Amino acid sequence: MATAYLNLAKFDEAVPLAESFLKHHPDALPAYQLLCEIFWETKRFERAETLLAAVPEELAESVAVYLLRGETLCQAEKHTEAKAFYRDFLKNYEWHEGIALALAKTHEALGERTNARYIYRDIMANCRSCHARIDPYVKQKFADLSFQSGLNTTEVLELYLSLAQEVPQNAADYYQKISRIYAAQENPDEARRFQAIADKYANKT
């Protein structure tokens, strides 16, 4: 019921239901997530911080709670604090992709695009070492940040080629960027060819 009220933007009705649920199930992580989302939406960031400070000891060090605490700082636009918070986690605990991804987004919010790009690269490298699928979102963030920085490399080009297959609804944009990379690499024939492909996909939408 609390989730339904949240979806209807009836926040005042959702809060007491979720808080009542937590009194009986203090270890229910989804309830903390739901309450945090309500507090973020209503700009009651201090209430979110108070809620998370009171989670049971067995949950306090969980990655899920760390992510909620970090996101609360970001929602409150305390990006410098969030950056330090995420960095401390990665320094004191083992690598975790979710924390790294949150840190990369925080660097972006602070305008630190180079640092964000390095983290997205690290995430991709970690996936490759484990033979895991790389999230297209991570591929695109790394490729876009590289492209925006003028890094017209073959690696970036190949990422856009891969993304055009994985996310076909954005293919026109990817092929347009591939064309521009080829142009920067002084390969006009391929630049024209991929511009034509980009135009073809753009006309389909």
pLDDT in tens, 64-107: 999 999 999 999 999 999 999 999 999 998 889 999 999 999 99
End-to-end CA distance of the chain: 39
Share of the chain above pLDDT 90, in %: 90
- Fold of the 1-76 domain: 1.25.40
- Separation CA 153–CA 176 (nearest Å): 15
Task: Output phi, psi for 55, to 5 deg.
Answer: -65, 150
Q: What single-letter DSSP state applies at residue 177?
A: H
Type of residue found at 28: A
Per-residue confidence band for 205, with pLDDT thresholds at 50, 70 and 90: low
- Separation CA 172–CA 190 (nearest Å): 15
- Separation CA 164–CA 137 (nearest Å): 12
- Separation CA 22–CA 133 (nearest Å): 36
Structure tokens belonging to residue 91: 């320094």
